[in-house]
Amino acid sequence: MAVLLRHLSFGRKWLPFAAIFLLMFASVAYMHFNAMHSYNKIYADPQRLNDGSEPSLRKLRKDIAVNQARSARAKVRGDEPFADDKENWNSVFDLVKYGKKLVSDKDHCNVPKSNPNKATFDVSEMVYSLKNEDLTWDGDAGVWDPEVEKQFQAGQKETNGTKAAKKLKVFLVPFSHADPGWLMTVDQYLQTYTKNTLDLVLERLQKWPEMKFIWAEISFFELWWTQLDEESRKKMKTLVQKGQVEFVNGGYVMPDEASAHTYAILHQYVYGHQWLLQNFNVTPRHGFSIDPFGYSSTMPYILKNLGFQTMFIQRIHYILRKQLVLAKAAQFRWQQSWDTSDSDSMFCYVSHTHLYDVKHTCGMDPSVCIQFDYQYGGIIQNTSVHVPAMMLLEQFRKVAHVFPHSAVLFPMGMDFRWSSTAEWDSKHGNFKLMLDYLNSKPENNVEIQFGTFDDYYKEVFEQMGTPDKWKLPRVTGDFFPYADRTVEYWTGYFTSHPFQKQLSRDLEHHLRLAEILYVLVGLRQYEIDNAPLLKTLEEATKSLGLFQHHDAITGTSKQAVSDDYEARLYKGLTGVYDVLQYLTTVLSWPQNTDRETFVVNLQRSTSRMLPKSKLIKVTQHKQGVQVVVINGLASVRDAFVEIIVDTEHVVIQDASGQTVPYQTSIASDAEHFQGELLQGGSRVTFFVKFKSLGMLFFKIRAVDAAEAKAGKQHLTKVTEKSHLGSLKYDEPIILQNEQYTVTFSPSTGLMESVRDADGNLHPIRLELKRYSGGGSRSGAYLFWPDVISDIVKYPHYIRVLKGQLFCEIHVIVPGLMRHVVRLFNSSSSTLDQFIQIENTHDFSSETNIEAVMRFTTDIRNNMTFFTDSNGFQVVRRKVSHDLPMQANYFPASTMAFLQDGEKRMTMHLARGHGVGSQDLGQIEVMMDRYLNQDDARGVEEPLREVRVTKTIVRLQLETKGYCGTCISAERPVHPSRLANRINLELNSPAMVLSTPLLANDSKPAQKQLSSSMEPLPCDWTLLMLKPVRYANASRDVGVMFHRVGTDCSGGSGLDDCRDASSGVKLADFLMVKRGLGSYNVTTINFVDVLSKETADTEITVESSKIKGLVFRA
């Protein structure tokens, strides 16, 4: 350095240049050192991170050399490899490793453009921008503060005694929020409260013509309706026709919006709206969702396409509420980020209040509003009406202050209110007295009336214009997570009661398939007794719909109520088993419907057990056993079939007589998940390929060992070592197929790295962790953790199975869980493209455990990850270190992923979970929660359900086929085409049924059944194919197509599907030979007819959207 300074001393004018040179030299040196340090910190491990062929340091040097050369080439081309990146993606690591700037996706990514209308508020970004010091107050305090009070009083002085102020139009809207299960079961609530409420609605609204009422939940209303005589029904119909009773929402329940899947949400809306159409000839036009714990961005799309005009929501983050309300943005257009035509934005009203009881809804001051509850009676005297009336009027004026119009909505209700004559008499009498008094005084400049939502919105739109003409604030994003005070985030319920969440998803899948098969039987005009089948499907629909309730699928009910939901789901599922078994038999042997039916192979034996494979006793049937595999997806599909037979020596033949390769291995089941082997059973696995929705038939016979070997039998090699004793693995464990080479730690048995088919090494460290539950704070609703520790630190043992069709590793932690990682070797378009992970667990022996599976990677994701929204679309999530851990958890129904410019890693999920991230390149999924305390949100019970539960994740790694450069926050992000396929196949598993072959059996109609429908174009899914109603005389069939939003799918390897730009002709799709006639394009509840089309009209669906059709079968 001294020599250098002597050479520079010939002139001071060169000193600034020398300083710049030294600074550049130091910066580059630091970047190189930091990259080396980061790489070693993330990847360095006592074990080699690759397959043993190349030490990690040598590989690092090679990577650096390659990227330096790449950087040099970029300079020659004129690129700027070290340019600043506005999105903060080019960390030091990225610059050294990749050598050039990540480019914009504008010209490189074939994804839908974003909504052309810039959002006024991105509520997801608003949640992210909060700081921990902001989370200090109780949301119950409301949005009013001294500054707002000062503004309000100033405004009152300006308009006092003048005509400047608009006349207030106030609508008192009575309602009763009826939870179909929470602290009591639905039947208990009906008898204790809801029947009384509806009886009194019928009685008092006839007595008081000015009185009105709104009702939301059809589950309760239908139960009450079935008990009415015909005269009472006529009277209720009159009240509805006169507008005194209005149905809002109108689904079977008021659904949860975090864990529920779009299919289940829509299914219960179809049932509720069709029931209203048949019984009252009305359809709801206004949404009313006051009790779910956060709101999905998918729901405004669904409600808009149900034909709704407005929606009303309540429980959002207490700080967001204040920000929106004080910005006079509590009414807004909720738009979809991908909706380029802006045709699906929805008018939304977010309540100005924390809760929906009179204490909060009458105005801005709960201490004033509480006196207007009148739940237990009390009558105001005429002589004393002035004081309470003027207090009430001031509250109305304060509400009007935060809206751009003078219409005021006052919802008057709470949980199970209006259930006693005393409450009806006092509320009607007192409010009638006050509104008559206030209306009679012109100086009050107010008009108050009992009303419905329809009355209120008509006034709003008369003042402001319809939502399409009114320049409303625009909102994008969703309202997760929800917090009601301080740092108390309601993010635990995303995972609570996982056993029931999975049971619900199982019923969804089976019900969807059963309804499809029912329609197929009808289209083929087979003679069957429809009535009992329809009755069973209807009961299953009600069971599924009931569980979508925001206190059911959320896992936030008392245990006795949860048990009731579970029993109903199980009853619905077993009924659907019967329907599937019967319809499969009819389709297979339509001329012999009295034959012994097929039996579903994977069934739940009780409501509290996981599905278990039936032992197929092939040795007892000389003719063999007929196995049928059903694909419920209307697309090309590869599937693996797994059955348990009573011998490992069999021959499997397809319908053409060709021998099918299979692999035999040791067997276990859900009842014995801690490593025990199933005695007398052998697991047989083989692959099948479908051209579209349909059935494939296989004959299985018991043979001797020699014939089995000749019949393409492959055995499984099993090794097992225990960390309970001295026998341990001393080398990394490796599983591989054509796509992946996965390396596992010899000490824990957990994944450490993945090498892809191109030879690229990807450090992916899997950990099984447990949060301690925050001592005494986490509960059914709240996630409030503190200490985190390992699960596999407990004594455990490792079992490795390797064969030609699949290989897998088992890590068994006695008493807690079995962790299985499996690779398929199928050379198919999907089966070998993911790593299957199955965790079977029972944490009931533990204290305060919230178990997670965490992945730590080298993905430079800029603290951003993505989750799906109800299985319909993908939402961007940002991790904030300024917020507590529980604030960085979000709901995921089917998938979550991380990405950077080089790769995307996706977790495909089989049920609803909470998903979070705590650090760069990290993502975790919560598997289960077992807690010793309540969290003071009303349930008053600890979360201590004893169930053996399974968590299934398909891990997918992509280095192409997705938009790796879609980094702009304004652009929508979608799964790749391959990811969508993998996800659909996970959530719609192929169904296996079997029956003994009889000597006189004819061959099933394999040719006709192997492809029962024409395959849909790429990205299309058949969301529903079902009877519109369950009346025996009805022949209307509803169809829903969803064209899934898809990211850059070039290079994804999916060349086996139709061009996504092509349309579908209904008759061709259904393969109906006889004339289908016309069909109607409808709203997605199959109610409003949008257009009538001829049979040869091609159906098209815009990307990311759902289309509903109805035809007459």
Residue 623 lies in a domain: yes
The token duo for 44 is 């360095």
Check residue 520 and give its pLDDT.
96
Tell whether the model's pLDDT for residue 115 goes beyond 90: no
Number of domains in the chain: 6
The predicted-structure confidence for 984-1026, as pLDDT tens digits, reads as follows 999 999 999 999 998 887 787 777 798 899 999 989 999 999 9
- CA 250, distance to chain mean position in Å, is 21
Say what the pLDDT of residue 140 is. 85
Q: What is the pLDDT of residue 1005?
A: 72
Please answer whether residues 325 and 402 qualify as being in contact, where contact means their C-beta atoms are separated by less than 8 angstroms.
yes
* pLDDT value of residue 1051: 52
Regarding whether 943 and 1033 lie in a shared domain, the answer is no
Task: For 652-681, write each residue's pLDDT tens digit.
Answer: 999 999 999 999 999 987 777 787 888 889
pLDDT one-digit tens code per residue, 297-326? 999 999 999 999 999 999 999 999 999 999
In this structure, are 147 and 249 located in the same domain? yes
Amino acid found at 62: K
What residues are paired with 447 via a beta bridge?
169
Beta-carbon contacts of 274 under 8 Å, excluding residues fewer than 6 positions away, are 1028, 1029, 1085, 1086, 1087
The residue among 9 and 770 whose pLDDT is bigger is 770
Task: Single out the catalytic residue among 291, 344, 638, 669.
Answer: 291
> What pLDDT score was predicted for residue 474?
96
Same domain, 281 and 364: yes
Report if residue 77 sits inside a domain.
yes
Distance from the first to the final alpha carbon of the chain:
90
Of 460, 486, 512, which residue constitutes the final position of a domain?
486
- CATH number, position 555: 1.20.1270.50
In a domain, 848, yes or no: yes
Q: Which of 1060, 1055, 1053, 1026 is nearest to 533 (CA)?
A: 1026
Question: Residue 692's domain is classified under what CATH number?
Answer: 2.60.40.1180
Nearest of 354, 348, 351, 353 to residue 297 by alpha carbon: 348
Whether 434 and 446 share a structural domain: yes
> Residue 312: which H helix or E strand, with range?
strand 310-313
How many helices (H) and strands (E) are present in the chain, helices listed first?
25, 48
- How much is the pTM? 0.90
The pLDDT confidence band at residue 543, using thresholds 50, 70 and 90, is very high
* pLDDT given for residue 766 in this prediction: 98
Quick one: 788 and 870 in the same domain?
A: yes
Examine the domain organization and report whether 149 and 168 are in the same domain: yes
Per-residue confidence band for 961, with pLDDT thresholds at 50, 70 and 90: confident
> Would residue 30 count as lying in a domain?
yes
Q: What is the pLDDT of residues 492-542, one digit of tens each?
A: 999 999 999 999 999 999 999 999 999 999 999 998 999 999 999 999 999
β partners of residue 889: 916
What is d(CA 629, CA 651) in angstroms, rounded to the nearest whole number? 17
Instruction: Find the DSSP H helices in 416-497.
Output: 421-439, 453-464
- Does residue 52 surpass a pLDDT of 50? no
C-alpha 734/C-alpha 755 separation (Å) is 11
Q: Is the pLDDT of residue 38 over 50?
A: no
Residue 975 lies in a domain: no
Task: With cut-offs at 50, 70 and 90, classify the pLDDT of residue 112.
Answer: low
Does the pLDDT of residue 280 top 60, yes or no? yes
Residue 134 belongs to some domain of the structure: yes
Q: What is the spatial distance between Cα 852 and Cα 843, in angstroms, rounded to a whole number?
A: 12
Q: Which of 452, 486, 520 represents a domain boundary (last residue)?
A: 486
Q: Are the CB atoms for 994 and 626 separated by under 8 Å? A: yes
Concatenated DSSP letters for 635-673?
S-EEEEEEEEES-S-EEEEETTS-B--EEEE----TTS-
- Above 80 in pLDDT, residue 649? yes
Identify whether residues 697 and 728 lie together within a single domain: no
Do the Cβ atoms of 337 and 124 come closer than 8 Å? no
Whether 74 shows a pLDDT value over 50: the answer reads no
Shared-domain flag, residues 652 and 782: no
CA 209 distance to own-chain centroid = 43
Structure tokens at 1061: 């730009």
Say how far apart CA 89 and CA 965 lie, in whole Å: 10
CA separation, residue 442 to residues 445, 563, 877, 901, 1026 (Å): 6, 57, 52, 67, 57
Last residue in a domain, options 41, 65, 98: 98
CATH number of the domain residue 1024 falls in: 2.60.40.1360
- Domain co-membership, 591 together with 602: no
Query: Residue 159 pLDDT > 90, yes or no?
Result: no
Quick one: pLDDT band at residue 111, thresholds 50, 70, 90? low
Boundaries of domain holding 1043: 1016-1112
Catalytic residue at 291? Answer: yes
Pair 215, 248: CB distance under 8 Å = yes
Question: Residue 50 domain-assigned?
Answer: yes
- Count of residues for the chain? 1113
Mean pLDDT across the stretch 246-261?
Answer: 99
Domain membership flag for residue 676 = yes
pLDDT for the residue numbered 92: 27
Lowest mean pLDDT among 140-144, 234-238, 268-272: 140-144
Do residues 636 and 654 share a domain?
yes
Asked whether residue 156 falls in the same domain as residue 263, the answer is yes
Answer yes or no: do 685 and 775 share one domain. no
Band (pLDDT 50/70/90 cuts) for residue 712 is: confident
